[in-house]
Structure 1
């Protein structure tokens, strides 16, 4: 009999699906002018330090189907890694390391359990985290009912746990948003505001009974995650939309949108933020788009309003973006294409990017990056294998020429 991880209900994956890194991404696609040619940081490049490369195997990870690794450097200098135990959703583990080679025994952070008197399972997926300015760690993931995902929005949402001791212990779960969602990204601005960006689909589901239309929304906290604005707990489950791209109108006259799997980067003080997103176009292609704000998203979009005005749509073929920036100003955009992870060096504003490079040897999807020093970047992704998935990790050096 298959394990519980393989008996979960299937769903239409809103973002970063296998299709997004498989056949639909295999074809070449011309890059627009702003993404082509020499890097805006042509005097620098990324190089993999081969001595740092490591793979965590399935036996160590306690699952044959590890996916969605997210790595963060904590205030004490150690690293914390989060991953989920199924491609779609089940449970989420964490583990820590001082040197990226020797890792502590993984422990459950969000564990699936029975709900509705045993009639369904609550499962967890797509965790992200942020080490706050005071050293606390906020880990946020999507949760959903395994069987009732589409029928009852109140059984889905965003869950958070907090650690005040560099990941050694975690406070109880806290629901911070109610409604269907995927792929939260946790960000903190220089003013201390904590933001959770996420793939936002619930309002069109409940208002129009529309599936497959997405956008990016945020909730904000001004007390390091203890309270959130807007406090979304009921119909129509609308957070503050900040980005969505029109794709088509259905035969029934319903407008469909995309933008999902967000990753945010503050590019300058006073609210200048770049937002990388995956855009699923009407022709089936997955593309990387970016949106920008100069004032910390002061205006929220209506349900059928595209925006923001300042954005670069469909820059290049790819899925599952993740942003980071070195202290010296170079931005880095990581994403998937044809089951490989690619990275591009960019300018300080994350508007212009150089040519893509790939470093991790395996194939998979849904990776992430984290700045680990003045010129060091940690990159990670699942290596999807028939004999059990592994998690790849390596350190990239920023080299000046």
Structure 2
């Protein structure tokens, strides 16, 4: 008989996920397309307990490892990125063939002195994408440790490239200038590379607004060598694609939210789902924005949008999206210091019940499809004796 933990892990996450593809939106919520066929057995996820592993602080070279990101490379091995503090300092990389034995971590983005030693340039929230040609782009936020968000020219997005499955990395390349955080790297079926990120700089420098965020992108049509828009100075504005109105301040300035984006291709002709965390007065919520045409329009500074959205549908923060080859989308996010996972439909519009698989407490995790029916999930396990990085493998169980 399976253990109680395994029985819990096999609880159904989405009823009739195949039937729910393309479920229409009514009043901002997805219509349960499976309701007409309640007898259909649902797909589910199950933790493979034999493959669960934790990397400890001594191995990671830091007591405060955070923000792990795992990517499966073209040669079948896995690349793990993580940072060495909660907010920013260094970003490490390590490689594994089996998710259990990992190579000695190496610095990928290393902090260093700037302004004649008056400040430090730090790195945080790295994400990566394995491109269609096998090259890997790693992108992170860089910032001045003492002057973050007050001196925009000292903050931005940094890129490094590997052409040999993560062994050797090219030089640093600044691809955006301005305060930001939490980039996410995506590639469309046409080959366009997009970096989504939390976009705070324009509101800060134009309206002197603190705490207003949105999501913007920069795009590349040559696999990350050049970028549009090429943002290097005032007003530090990229292509704004999502922001949710929250309130108007006493000064008359509009405050927006939407941040920490994760994108999922829903249709080869330009359909994209964007999961975000939305910061509200009573806490964080998960919201979604959608486009059918690869974000053809750029939002104005004080324009909410896009028109097609689902706002504040779950309590939680730090979303991350993935999708199995068979079509099921997966959403991972943090709630009450645990990683929650929901199985969803092809368009990431309707999701089933949440489940918890990783045993530890932490935040800022990620997921990566590792095979036709396998998903790797990871998150920091925050502990007083040194943070660990949890790595688990979830199996997709289909009727």
d(CA) in 1 for partners of 2:265, 2:141: 23
Q: Which residue of 2 aligns with 1:120?
A: 119
Q: Which residue of 1 aligns with 2:380?
A: 382
Q: Which residue of 2 aligns with 1:362?
A: 360
1:350 matches 2:365: no
1:38/1:354 contact within 8 Å kept: no
d(CA) in 1 for partners of 2:49, 2:158: 37
Q: Which residue of 2 aligns with 1:249?
A: 248
> Once the two structures are superposed, what CA deviation does each residue of 1:5-59 show, in whole Å capped at 9, x if it has no partner?
xxxxxxxxxxxxxxxxxxxxxxxxxxx9649998999521000000010000000
Q: Which residue of 2 aligns with 1:304?
A: 302
Aligned CA RMSD, in angstroms, stands at: 1.5
- State the shift of 1:285 in Å: 1.2
TM-score by length of 1: 0.90
Do the aligned partners of residues 301 and 42 (structure 1) sit closer, same or farther apart at CA in structure 2, a change above 3 Å counting? farther
Structure 2, unpaired ranges of 5+? 1-27
Q: Which residue of 2 aligns with 1:160?
A: 159
- State the shift of 1:150 in Å: 2.7
d(CA) in 2 for partners of 1:172, 1:155: 18
1:273 matches 2:272: yes
2:182/2:197 contact within 8 Å kept: yes
d(CA) in 2 for partners of 1:35, 1:109: 45
> Once the two structures are superposed, what CA deviation does each residue of 1:308-358 show, in whole Å capped at 9, x if it has no partner?
000000001000000000000000000000000000000000000000001
Structure 1, unpaired ranges of 5+? 1-31
Q: Which residue of 2 aligns with 1:80?
A: 79
Q: Which residue of 1 aligns with 2:208?
A: 209
1:392 matches 2:395: no
- State the shift of 1:284 in Å: 3.4
d(CA) in 1 for partners of 2:133, 2:33: 41
d(CA) in 2 for partners of 1:288, 1:110: 30
d(CA) in 1 for partners of 2:364, 2:174: 24
1:247/1:257 contact within 8 Å kept: yes
d(CA) in 2 for partners of 1:99, 1:327: 21
1:172 matches 2:171: yes
Report the count of equivalent residues.
Answer: 369
TM-score by length of 2: 0.91
1:91/1:111 contact within 8 Å kept: yes
1:258-337 equivalence runs, <5 A: 258-281=257-280, 283-337=281-335
1:174-253 equivalence runs, <5 A: 174-253=173-252
2:29/2:310 contact within 8 Å kept: no
Q: Which residue of 2 aligns with 1:11?
A: none
